[in-house]
Amino acid sequence: MNRGERRQANYPMSEAVRQSYRQGQEDESLQLLVLVDEAGKPIGQIRHGDYVIFYNIRGEREVELTRSLTEKDFTDFPTEKDLRVHMATMIQYAEGLNDQVAFPPSQKIGDTLSEVVSRHGLKQVKVVESEKAVHITFYLNGKINEPFPGEERIILPSPKIEGDYDQLPEMNIAGVCRKTIEKINDPQYHLVVTNFCNTDVVGHVENKPAIRQAVEAVDTQVGLAVQAAQKAGMATLITADHGTVEKWYYPDGAIDTGHTTSPVPFILVDAHSPSGTEVTLLDGGSLTDVAPTALEILGLPRPEAMTGKSLLQNYLPTEGAKRQRLFLLILDGWGVQPPGETNLISGADTPNMDRLLATCPNTTLHASGDPVGLPKGKVGNSEAGHLHIGAGRRILSDRSRIDAAVKDGSFFENEAFLWAMDGALKDGTNLHLLGIVSFYSSHGTIQHLFSLMDMAKKQGVDKLYIHSILGRRGEQPESGAIYIEKVEEKAQQIGLGQVVSVVGRFWALDREENWDRVAKCYRQLVYGEGRAVPEG
């Protein structure tokens, strides 16, 4: 039997994914695949009383699908009446969900930049388009949803389009910039925080001309916003949460649409020392140093919880000096690498960033791996980036916590997992494992899935169904089929489990209330809708 025959005979879902590739589909938007028996009946649908473990670790894109499966009075699209699903989630996706959380928040993240500014009675405003709203609000505030006293949030809607944002690389950046300038010109705000998201969002799409347009749109608006801040006598800090398109190719030449391990820029514009000395910046910092630097410019004390340091040198305050206002600009996905063919930022026309880098104090900051609480060598992401920009200290990521639990064995004694597995056995119902299949995704790892499969085998679970989500970000082209085959192979090795559905993350992981997409994924999970794949 050759390799192709072996796949078709033993690994039907991975072969179906490869067939989808041949039809022009790719992992991110892969159309729904459903395993069926000899009679054409879907296998492994989520039914009344079943238990589901959603093992993703990011959070904000997982909320909508979780709500649709667990909320009794869910109304955003039609759902199965009286479907009672018992859900366990790897981490807390949001407060108030009807779920058991395996790894709840380990610490309260207080004394963030926003909280300190609020505590001292200063007004602040955050401006962003909806595609990145959760990052500049929830994560920047230390995973706190509610605004602090004196904090205003302006969230402009991202354009509603069919497909990816490479069709409109400018997105709503002009509107975000206009609102930012309006707030810069209002002296009641001491801190203005803005996120320009284009480089990251468009950078996840394999469209080089569109990425160039996105980068140039960001540069244009940087020029306008910084000019407004200078006219208003406002200091500016420019940085990013992680890199993306500055390192757009793998060593073998394949395109990498994911995040990177690159450092990010840190530029200081018009922050005048009250004593009149010339201000410079320390090198070797990380995103944990942004908040302490911002507080020093604002003339506010750094709380003890902020273990990051101010990067200002020769910034010598004087008694009675007028408090400076600050504009903090986050260029989402804008990393730093030497110019070259693999660097799509250096290949774009960026006169404003070029001028600022040539004339203003600047350095680079670590934005990936251990400095931002991620496993060593792990690429940065928007969650960790904004969290560390706001917190001013290193915070161990959920992935690192869970990896440690797997290593020390406590993962396999987790009460939420035991609740789901033992509950399925006791009730005579099915156990479902739902989540991303990837080594690199910030939303989760296949290794956690394998650990759950091993645990289910040890606990004696006899009916285990796996629902897989694919995504291209940070992956080699067509890597999804390889991952699905690994899961199917693992199931055969341990004699437990079947991959019964596969879908691209475009349909499953949404945060913009694109309910038509989530509804499609819901119907796949509950009704078995999708392209039928014979069990073989």
pLDDT at residue number 1: 36
Q: What is the pLDDT of residues 77-125, one digit of tens each?
A: 999 988 999 999 999 998 889 999 999 987 789 999 999 999 999 999 9
Give the domains, in start order, of the chain with CATH numbers: 3-34+45-72+82-104+400-534 (3.40.1450.10), 113-159+169-324+359-395 (3.40.720.10)
- Asked whether the predicted pLDDT for residue 276 surpasses 50, the reply is yes
Q: How far lies 472's CA from each of 94, 116, 480, 500, in Å?
A: 25, 39, 8, 20
pLDDT at residue number 250: 80
Token pair recorded at residue 309: 């340091």
Token pair recorded at residue 341: 């063919």
Q: Where are the alpha helices (DSSP H) in 232-350?
A: 290-298
pLDDT at residue number 326: 97
Least confident of 248-257, 367-376, 396-405: 248-257
- Asked whether the predicted pLDDT for residue 303 surpasses 60, the reply is yes
Instruction: Label the pairing between strands 51-54 and 86-91.
Output: parallel
Percentage above 90 pLDDT, the chain: 79
Higher pLDDT, 30 or 273: 30
For residue 319, count other CB atoms closer than 10 A to its CB.
Answer: 5
Q: C-alpha 440: how far from its chain's center? A: 12
- Model's pTM, two decimal places? 0.81
- Asked whether the predicted pLDDT for residue 319 surpasses 70, the reply is no
DSSP class of 132: G
Token pair recorded at residue 19: 């067939």
Rama region for 340: left / alpha / beta (φ>0; ψ in -120 to 50; rest): left
Question: Cα–Cα distance between 525 and 53 in angstroms, integer?
Answer: 13
State the pLDDT confidence band at 5, using cuts at 50, 70 and 90.
very low
- Asked whether the predicted pLDDT for residue 3 surpasses 50, the reply is no
pLDDT at residue number 28: 86
For residue 171, count other CB atoms closer than 10 A to its CB.
Answer: 25
- Winning range, highest mean pLDDT, from 290-294, 476-480, 508-512: 290-294
| Average pLDDT of the residues in 280-307 | 96
Instruction: Label the pairing between strands 431-436 and 264-269.
Output: unpaired
Question: Cα–Cα distance between 196 and 240 in angstroms, integer?
Answer: 9
Rg (the chain; Cα; Å): 24
| CB 451, CB 487: distance < 8 Å | no
Q: What is the pLDDT of residues 463-480, one digit of tens each?
A: 999 999 998 666 677 889
| CB 536, CB 36: distance < 8 Å | no
